Amino acid sequence: MSCEGKVALVTGTSRGLGKAIAQRLAREGATVALTARTAEPDPKYQGSLQETLQEITDAGGSAIAVTADLSNPEERERLFSEVVDRVGAPDILVNNAAVTFLRPLDEFPDRRVRLMMEMHVLAPLHLTQLAIPGMRQRGCGWVLNVTSVGGDLPGGPPFDDFDRTAGFGIYGTAKAALNRLTKSLAAELYEDGIAVNAAAPSQPVATPGAGTLDLAKTDTEDISLITQTAFVLCTGDPKSLTGRIAHTQPFLREIGWQQP
């Protein structure tokens, strides 16, 4: 379980879970390629690529930053090519970048459905496809998709908690698709020594994104749980730790980790 000498590409690293995971991998010795749309500090947003890059390097870590809009396939290819040219092909790929809109299905705009599916499903698949050749050549690799408990099927009928979950239909559908994609990739890449897993906080984490969507007022969990889960899944034995859809709290209990 070490990141020394490895290259990690982490998407959506200007803020939130992606930033925290990137910082953890950098602390563990990885050279981290950061990417997001927000390059420079902007009063409209909390966090930027340059701020994440500065924080990692100030702490003694190694990182680069490449701005990209991952909803665009050409931008994904440009990003990957630049990362390879600057620091080498990634040993670790963390698909975290996402865009989320919440609204009832009967009035959900088609363009937003397509954008969410592009970001939550197609972009992770495409970036994984780009990473596979280098991982195959080395005989090992780690792919982690950041998912959500929203991808689990809701209970019911009766739908007693409908008011609490209304608006999550497309988000849950996208994350459920990402979970299924994770399992399929894990099965197909198992003999290549490439681990493919997904990780989700068991409860909301108070990140800027969650705050914007009003999702993290109560019953939140510390961000260290997802960063520890990500670290374990990005360094574990690909032959035994793959194909997992890991919710932080039960997963960390399973492996015997206790929060410091």
For residue 56, is pLDDT > 50? Answer: yes
State yes or no: pLDDT of 231 exceeds 80: yes
Please give the residue range of the domain that contains residue 125. 7-255
- In-domain check, residue 260: no
pLDDT at 219: 62
In a domain, 2, yes or no: no
Over the stretch 140-177, which tens digit does the pLDDT of each residue have? 999 999 999 999 988 888 776 655 557 899 999 999 99
| Domain assignment of residue 90, yes or no | yes
Phi, psi at 45, each rounded to 5°: -130, 155
210 pLDDT above the threshold of 60: no
Provide the percentage of residues in the chain whose pLDDT is more than 70. Answer: 93
The H or E element spanning position 65 is strand 62-67
Q: Give the Cα separation of 7 and 208 in Å (integer).
A: 27
Q: What is the pTM of this model?
A: 0.94
Number of H helices, E strands in the chain: 10, 7
**Is residue 203's pLDDT more than 50?**
yes
pLDDT band of residue 41 (cuts 50, 70, 90) is confident
Whose structure tokens read 């909390």? Answer: 46
45 among known catalytic residues = no
pLDDT surpasses 80 at 213: no
Instruction: Give the pLDDT mean for 188-212.
Output: 85
CATH assignment at residue 59 = 3.40.50.720
Number of domains the chain contains = 1
Average pLDDT of the chain?
92
The predicted structure's pLDDT at residue 63: 98
Q: Tell me: pLDDT of 124 over 60.
A: yes
Which tokens is 227 given? 């960063």
Give the tokens for residue 170: 């497309």
Torsion of CA 219, 98, 174, 220, to 10 degrees: 0
Q: For strand 194-200 and strand 7-11, is the pairing parallel, antiparallel, or unpaired?
A: unpaired
- Rg of the Cα atoms in the chain: 17
Residue 46 lies in a domain: yes
The confidence band for 217, taking pLDDT boundaries of 50, 70 and 90, is low
In this structure, is residue 1 part of a structural domain? no
User: Of 58, 55, 60, which Cα lies nearest the Cα of 29?
Assistant: 60
pLDDT in tens, 29-40: 999 999 999 888
Residue 245 pLDDT greater than 80, yes or no: yes
User: Is residue 100 over pLDDT 50?
Assistant: yes
pLDDT confidence of residue 211: 46
Q: Which amino acid is at 41?
A: P
> Rounded to an integer, what distance in angstroms lies between the CA atom of residue 179 and that of residue 245?
7
Whether 154 maps to a domain, the answer reads: yes
173 found inside a domain: yes
Question: 142, 171, 231, 251: which one is catalytic?
Answer: 171
Please check whether residue 17 lies inside any domain of the structure. Answer: yes
Q: How confident is the model at residue 79 (pLDDT cuts 50, 70, 90)?
A: very high
